[in-house]
Chain A
């Protein structure tokens, strides 16, 4: 006799929850592919963000970390507060000119490979604070990979920005970005060796 309540009756129509793996040859008990694809896959799904939250965008990030938006499902369960352990610097909020050297020092303390995300209008461009005391965008002192617009951006926007970073890490860059001429040129333009 069928049970009165049945779960998972449409199982064949469920979404596939597992991400597609990289291209490669597979057979009985083995799988071969490029090393940089595997490393990129691993990196992009285990980013350790370092939140540098100075104002209201930081509050949005706290919501992003919470259960409703659940940042952890992107492999960023572990938010680090030591720059030496983290790969992704998330600058969220107004950076005053006096705070600029601090941001730069935190960035310098991070080990390669490192990525930077500017969350919100202030971190991206100074926002409404077009004034003598506020840095007009953190890209004046450190290179930025992804800008998230909004004042403040909704958690969905922060997640979207994060997925853009994952895309960069996974598909767009070589394994050792720091060896690329273009990257070194960029670093030199910021006075970073």
Chain B
């Protein structure tokens, strides 16, 4: 019998009970939310289970939801079962004041650079990561640019007149 989203969801619920929440299937992609302390256990279960075999980490990234107090930062994992060609996605949420999440590098080597990227742009502190430092931005950058409190524009520029760029000034008021 081919592996389906229903079987995966059923197995997860059997193993983790009601700790996993918000199951949904947008566009056929099984998605759910896990508590952040369980992220490694969920991944290990998905990896080890002889039927599930989610042994490929497609993507790992972060999202900033400034309005969710106490759960501002989400870390999103995309896993792929290469045998049955089924993907799933799950998120863990963490407080932005203490953005500690366990690293997935021991399970998936691909997580190494992706976690560095998530740290670089969102400041997620991956506990246990072997080399957690900036990967894309300049080393001397002292903030996390993809957090929503920072404007996209370069704040160090002095040569550009805002009015010429349709910002501030008399335009749009």
Contacts and interface: CB of A to CB of B under 8 A. Distances in A.
Interface stretch (B66-74, B88-96, B153-161): B153-161
Q: Is the interface of A mostly helix, strand, loop or mixed?
A: loop
B157 A133 contact: no
Contacts of A130: 152-154, 157, 160, 165
Contacts of A134: 154
Interface in A79-133: 97-98, 125-126, 130-133
Nearest to B158: A136
A137 interface: yes
B171 interface: no
Q: Taking each of B137, B155, B157, B159, which has the highest tally of chain A beta carbons within 10 Å of its own beta carbon?
A: B157
Given A97-B138, A130-B165, A125 B159 contact: yes
B143 to A, nearest CB: 9
B114 to A, nearest CB: 18
Q: Is the interface of B mostly helix, strand, loop or mixed?
A: loop
Contact of B145 (A125, A126, A132): A132
Interface string B119-138: 00000000000000000111
A133 B153 contact: no
B154 A98 contact: no
A126 B153 CA distance: 11
Nearest to A125: B159
B65 to A, nearest CB: 20
A78 B127 CA distance: 54
Contacts of A137: 159
B145 A133 contact: yes
Nearest to A134: B154
Given A97-B138, A98-B137, A132 B152 contact: yes
Given A97-B138, A98-B138, A131 B154 contact: yes
Contacts of B152: 130-132
Nearest to A137: B159
Nearest to A97: B138
Given A97-B138, A126-B154, A130-B153, A136 B145 contact: no
B159 A132 contact: no
B23 interface: no
Contacts of B157: 126, 130, 136
A125 B154 CA distance: 12
B153 A131 contact: yes
A134 B136 CA distance: 12
Contacts of B150: 132
Contacts of B138: 97-98
Q: Taking each of A97, A98, A132, A133, which has the highest tally of chain B beta carbons within 10 Å of its own beta carbon?
A: A132
B153 A125 contact: no
Contacts of A131: 152-154
Interface in A133-168: 133-134, 136-137
Nearest to A135: B154
A97 B154 CA distance: 11
B137 A125 contact: no
Interface string B146-170: 0000101111110110000100000
Contacts of B136: 98, 133
Nearest to A132: B145
Interface of A: 97-98, 125-126, 130-134, 136-137
